[in-house]
A = this chain, B = another copy of it.
């Protein structure tokens, strides 16, 4: 049952062996909280949620750290995302952060993404960052220029080992930060100088300023997980420069390598075949998706593609996922009913034994898929085969109690490990349903009154009253109200 993990560094699947026996430390780059949570976030955090659940299912104790970036993440134009937005909206930057952070967690909670063990905020670790930067300067890996501190890439020969980006490509690329004091165009900022009126700055040995986004993650990862960590994850587009720079900073600081044993990256998200980007106007907020589709459908849609593959969002796919969720939930409902109505203590029939064997086989291939670099796409397809087998079982007029219970354990276990609901959603009854049912009863009662069957009419009124529904016969119509809902 060895788990295999694709490493973005070695670019092959490796057998998963955490640094400390039985304990896994994982750091996933969290959101920059200056705007609504979008589908890209959902993709990455649902994928890692399933990964963490699977590691726990396999018996590991997992410590999951996912940061909140509330300062230092710059746009390509060099503007801090939080500060820029706060200035434009004329709000205190930390009030903006508070709002979007809250909404982020709300969305994740709704999507069944379990909270990380710690969600460190960059602004909560400025001193730690300053200390690491000071040490990098002492060790000759960084230098100060007029209140800014840069990492000296030429001093770190391993630079590029994750992204395999070459110096020439970098210089040709548009994303390189030009600063007059930089010794090498590849050098990147550890500390940025801030002007006097800048709203979010801290005092440091280099004057007022704020940390660079890359050093934030390195420092928070080491602060909670140690100098060498098992898994570091994030979206594919973070490989360069963010994670490349993280490696340089951490390994230069600690003198130990590797900083991260397994680098894991979620694939690109596209919307109707195009890259999702604000500039393209095809930004999809999770909030808007959840207005139309259930959280379970969103999870199922995302997990139906392997985490490393490109995922294309189209509304038709969500419609399909919603129907598939309904299939799963109907199965669960029928299973619950079968337990109450058709479970029997008679010996199992050969048909029942055959279904049970099939369930064992499916459970085992499900597990193998998950062990194989968390292949939820395959696992989901086996989940539906499990669902079909359960349906075959509960269709029987009488079902052996022990077999039914095994089927339930397998089915629900797989649902849970994918973070899908494992109880039928009957509890979510709508008031519309109640109203429709009462309308039917009132119509039946009025029919009885018409044929002068007052005994039935009164009995109906009495029964309704006993569950808190009070009828009032007005001229030409009957109205009702719930007095004391059960």
Give the interface of A toward B (CB within 8 A).
Answer: 63, 92, 94-95, 98, 102, 115-121, 123-124, 126-127, 131, 202-203, 224, 330, 333-334, 337, 341, 426-434, 436-438, 440-441, 443-444, 447, 456, 460, 463-464, 467-469, 474, 479, 481-483, 485-486
Contacts and interface: CB of A to CB of B under 8 A. Distances in A.
A429 B95 contact: no
A373 to B, nearest CB: 28
A436 B115 contact: no
A63, A429, A479 pick with most chain B CB within 10 angstroms? A429
26 contacts: A63-B92, A63-B95, A94-B118, A94-B120, A95-B118, A98-B115, A98-B117, A98-B118, A102-B115, A121-B124, A124-B124, A126-B126, A126-B127, A333-B482, A341-B474, A427-B431, A429-B433, A429-B485, A430-B485, A430-B486, A433-B434, A440-B460, A440-B464, A440-B467, A444-B456, A447-B456
Given A429-B434, A433-B468, A437-B467, 16 more contacts: A92-B118, A102-B115, A127-B202, A330-B483, A334-B481, A341-B479, A429-B430, A429-B433, A430-B485, A430-B486, A433-B434, A436-B467, A437-B437, A440-B441, A440-B460, A443-B463
Contacts of A464: 440
A254 B102 CA distance: 33
B431 A429 contact: yes
Given A441-B437, A456-B444, A333 B481 contact: yes
A437, A438, A463 pick with most chain B CB within 10 angstroms? A437
Contacts of A433: 429, 434, 467-468, 482, 485-486
A176 to B, nearest CB: 30
Given A94-B118, A127-B203, A440 B426 contact: no
A92 B441 contact: no
Contact of A434 (B63, B437, B447): B437
Contacts of A474: 341
Contact of A444 (B63, B460, B483): B460
Contacts of A432: 486
Contacts of A121: 121, 124
Contact of A436 (B330, B440, B443, B486): B486
A284 to B, nearest CB: 26
A337 B470 CA distance: 13
Nearest to A333: B481
A440 B434 CA distance: 13
A124 to B, nearest CB: 4
A101 to B, nearest CB: 9
Contact of A441 (B203, B333, B444, B467): B444
A241 B400 CA distance: 69
A427 B429 CA distance: 9
A191 B353 CA distance: 70
B95 A117 contact: yes
Contacts of A436: 467, 486
A102, A202, A436 pick with most chain B CB within 10 angstroms? A436
A485 B474 CA distance: 30
